[in-house]
Homo-oligomer: A and B are copies of this chain.
Amino acid sequence: MKNKELVTELAARMGWTAQEVAETLSVLSSVVSSRLVDNDTIYLQGFGQFEVKKKAERISVNPSNGKRYLVPPKLVPVFKPGTTVKNKLKELGDHE
């Protein structure tokens, strides 16, 4: 589902213009992003939470020349689904 399709579906559901929805999503993204950068966990009711985790540095190997090199530590945003999403996916997995 591309961004545009998401905007169209949300606009239809809420009776808004695509522009209003796009603006809302953009403000939401910017608030969540800046909170993540501040190392804050963001809770979205019924959906899940976003937080930043630090991945430790590690040694990797370049497969073409066999040389070892150090991958530096990095900060990555992680999404933890809420129970609603988790349960829906669990049901789906159980029926496969």
Contacts and interface: CB of A to CB of B under 8 A. Distances in A.
Interface string A57-87: 0000000000000001111111101001100
Contacts of A46: 26, 29-30, 33
Contact of A79 (B14, B25, B78, B92): B78
A14 B21 CA distance: 12
A56 to B, nearest CB: 12
Copies of this chain assembled into the complex:
2
Main DSSP-derived SS at the A contact region: helix
A42 interface: yes
B37 A10 contact: no
Interface residues of A, number: 50
B47 A1 contact: no
Given A24-B24, A29-B46, 13 more contacts: A1-B41, A1-B43, A6-B43, A28-B47, A33-B85, A36-B85, A36-B88, A48-B77, A75-B93, A76-B89, A77-B81, A77-B89, A78-B79
